[in-house]
Amino acid sequence: MQTANSQVNYSSASDIIGALQNILAHSQQMSDFKTPHSRANHIPNTNYPAIELKGECISNIVAERQQQLDTVSLDISGLETVMGNIENLYKQLVEQKNKIIQSMTFYKGLVSSLWRLPTEILSQIFHLCLPEDKYLSPASKQAPMLLTTICRPWREVAVGTPSLWCRLHVEPTGRDWEKAVAFYHSWLRRARRHPLSLAFKCWNSSEQFSLLEPYVKRISSLAVRVYHEPGNYETLLKDLPRLPALQELVLQGSTLSPRMSKSISRLPSTMHSLDVSDMPAFDISRLSWLNRVWVHLTNVKISISHPDALLHLLRLCPNLSSLTARTSFYEAQILEPLTHANIQSLSVVNLSGNIGCLTGLFNALSLPNLRVFELWHRGSNLWSHEVLKAFLARSRCSLESLIFSGQLTVTEVQRAEYIALIPSLNVIVGPRSQHFS
């Protein structure tokens, strides 16, 4: 028998069962603790013999009870140990069960047609598993990182598919930046020679650019948000001309200074897309700071403060095919007519309370190549149906989709009149578009 302070380790379920059987046997042997005296209805008085009671020696009974108490205490200690071992054994069995299920799943999968798919097809399936986000977060529970944890064959295919690793959202990590840099390098190296799309939630000048340094010739898309110091922006923009393959730039969270604009103006002619829609609104003066950039652009997202500034932007961007504009117009203006031959997609979100402020803009504008036009307004006042009809008739465009979102509504009569102008037109009235999210 083990002592009360001993630690018993049972190596198997049979050892635990044996120990429980011993404890149960001890308990059954000591089930009756009654004596002739204990069945009496009164406490013995002092006249009873001090040494003997009905042939039994009290000292012997006490000694026997002490022995029984020691045995029960030992069994309780043993039972506590057994219960702990039962809990450990339960955990081990559950773990073994899970491993057996995983093994069964793996070997069942070997006979599945999925394992016989060519690597090229499996790579295409992995692409369909990627989140729809433009820049991928390196989370372990979503693709592509998740795909590397399923099994060895899947990991080999995922790691060997460079196009899965071309997009990355770099998060601020504080003191763990060095560890994070090693992880980000591992991610980006898997992209091999493919063009890269990178986003930085918070730019911290030299640290982030040290991460970019090995990949500067392959960065085609860069999105940057700076929360506090404009100086960080200027450090970043000073380095932008060193990105010879840059095609798309997204800037958020800070105002644009002349010095920053000068850096943007030195961007390569390969850049065709600029998104500054989350920066303060542009007027004609601020637009002029980027004169060397606009001529190359085909896609622009921007905030505009005045109707004449929007028309000025269109004059600066002769190759523009897609424009998303956040407007904050507070008065209608009479503007010089302007025809832009290349605009195919125009999305306008009106952030002012009066949608009538857009009237002057659309009275002046003609877009003969327009295919998609979307208008979002947060107020309840109605858009001028006649102004839009005149704009479509003047443009003589083959418009495919006319979208009213936000709180704008269209009557059936108005819908019919739009379609009468352009028979193939699809008129859509719905919630806020993803262009303005």
Question: What DSSP string runs through 63-85?
Answer: HHHHHHHHHHHHHHHHHHHHHHH
**Rounded Cα gap, residues 279 and 293, in angstroms:** 17
Q: Is residue 416 part of a domain?
A: yes
As for how many domains the chain has, the answer is: 2
Q: Is residue 135 part of a domain?
A: no
Strands 322-327 and 345-350 come out as parallel
Peptide bond before 431: cis, by omega within 30 degrees of 0?
Answer: no
For 231, other C-beta atoms within 10 Å of its C-beta total 11
Q: Which domain covers residue 328, as residue numbers?
A: 274-437
> Is the pLDDT at 205 greater than 60, yes or no?
no
**Angle in degrees, 0-180, between the axes of helices 258-265 and 230-239, rounded to the nearest 10:** 20
CATH number of 284's domain:
3.80.10
Q: Which pLDDT belongs to residue 229? A: 53
Q: Is residue 99 part of a domain?
A: yes
DSSP 423: T
How many angstroms separate the most distant Cα atoms in the chain?
130
213 within 8 A of 239, measured Cβ to Cβ: no
Q: Is residue 422 part of a domain?
A: yes
Q: Which pLDDT belongs to residue 50? A: 47
- 377-412: per-residue pLDDT in tens? 876 556 788 999 999 999 999 999 999 988 888 889
Q: Is residue 221 part of a domain?
A: no
Domain final residue pick, 68, 87, 110: 110
> Is the pLDDT at 35 greater than 70, yes or no?
no
- 85-134: per-residue pLDDT in tens? 788 878 888 888 888 888 887 777 666 666 677 888 989 999 999 988 88
**Rounded Cα gap, residues 7 and 99, in angstroms:** 29
Q: Is residue 384 part of a domain?
A: yes
Q: Which pLDDT belongs to residue 127? A: 92
Give the residue among 283, 284, 238 at the shortest CA–CA distance from 264: 238
Residue 219, helix vs strand vs coil: strand
Query: 20: number of CA atoms within 13 Å, CB side?
Result: 11
Q: Which pLDDT belongs to residue 44? A: 52
- 128-186: per-residue pLDDT in tens? 999 888 889 888 788 999 999 888 888 999 999 999 999 999 876 666 777 888 888 99
Give the residue among 194, 201, 238, 237 at the shortest CA–CA distance from 215: 194
Domain final residue pick, 110, 130, 154: 110
Write the DSSP assignment of 260-315 as a string of letters: HHHHHHTS-TT--EEEETTSPPB-HHHHHTTHHHHTT-SEEEEEESSHHHHHHHHH
Residue identified by tokens 């994070």 is 180
> Is the pLDDT at 12 greater than 70, yes or no?
no
**Rounded Cα gap, residues 136 and 134, in angstroms:** 7
Q: Which pLDDT belongs to residue 33? A: 58
Q: Is residue 411 part of a domain?
A: yes
Give the residue among 26, 35, 29, 38 at the shortest CA–CA distance from 73: 26
Tokens of residue 200, six digits: 């930085």
Domain final residue pick, 77, 110, 143: 110
What are 376's strand-pairing partners? Answer: 349, 405
Q: Is 315 exposed, middle or buried (0-12, 13-18, 19+ CB in 10 A)?
A: exposed
Q: In terms of pLDDT, which residue wins out, 273 or 15? A: 273
Q: Is residue 38 part of a domain?
A: yes
